[in-house]
Amino acid sequence: MAAAAAGSACTAKDDRSGSEKAGRPTLAIDFDGPGRWRIRSWAWRENAWHPRIARATRTGAGIEVRGPINAADRAKIVARLGA
């Protein structure tokens, strides 16, 4: 695990993120019932990583994500859940 930026309690790093900020926490997609997931994404502001929580549901048109997430994570979420 990489050391986090000063002032951040987050230490897990998503090495696949391509982020230039050290210590980016891992994107989390948790099952929340049939066709539903809770997503924890992260945004860098005020010199620390802050969680962004959203919900995803499977619809007839695909995957719908509601709530704030890091824009860079949206494609990853749809790819993981749309398969």
What's the pLDDT at 12? 41
Angstrom distances, CA of residue 31 to CA of 13, 28, 35, 40:
22, 10, 8, 12
Q: For residue range 42-78, list pLDDT tens digits in order.
A: 988 898 999 999 999 999 888 889 998 888 888 888 8
SS3 37: strand
- Indicate yes or no: pTM above 0.85: no
Name the average pLDDT for the chain: 77
Angstrom distances, CA of residue 66 to CA of 37, 40, 73, 77:
11, 12, 13, 12
